């Protein structure tokens, strides 16, 4: 998707949906790292998993 690769100007928020948390970590670690990373998870253990396996640059919770 081109919108996921280019800078966005305007009120648009592209979302990607994943079935497994490990898919999210793999996607982030195998692509250019974003300037910001926002995460909203219900369980603390999920957040800990993401922080353990993801480069933390730009992390905000």
pLDDT at residue 38, rounded to an integer: 73
Q: List per-residue pLDDT tens for the chain, 61 residues long.
A: 677 777 778 787 778 888 888 888 888 778 777 676 677 777 888 888 877 876 555 444 4
pLDDT at residue 53, rounded to an integer: 75
Q: In degrees rounded to 5, what are phi and psi of residue 38?
A: -115, 135
Establish how many alpha carbons lie within 13 A of residue 26's alpha carbon, considering only the half-sphere containing its beta carbon: 6
- The whole-angstrom separation of Cα 55 and Cα 41 is 18
């Amino acid at each position: 998707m081109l919108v996921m690769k280019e800078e966005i100007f305007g009120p648009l928020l592209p979302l990607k949906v994943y079935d497994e948390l490990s898919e999210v970590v793999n996607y982030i670690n195998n692509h250019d790292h974003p300037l910001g990373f926002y995460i909203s998870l219900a369980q603390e253990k999920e957040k800990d998993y993401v922080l353990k396996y993801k480069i933390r640059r730009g992390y905000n919770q």
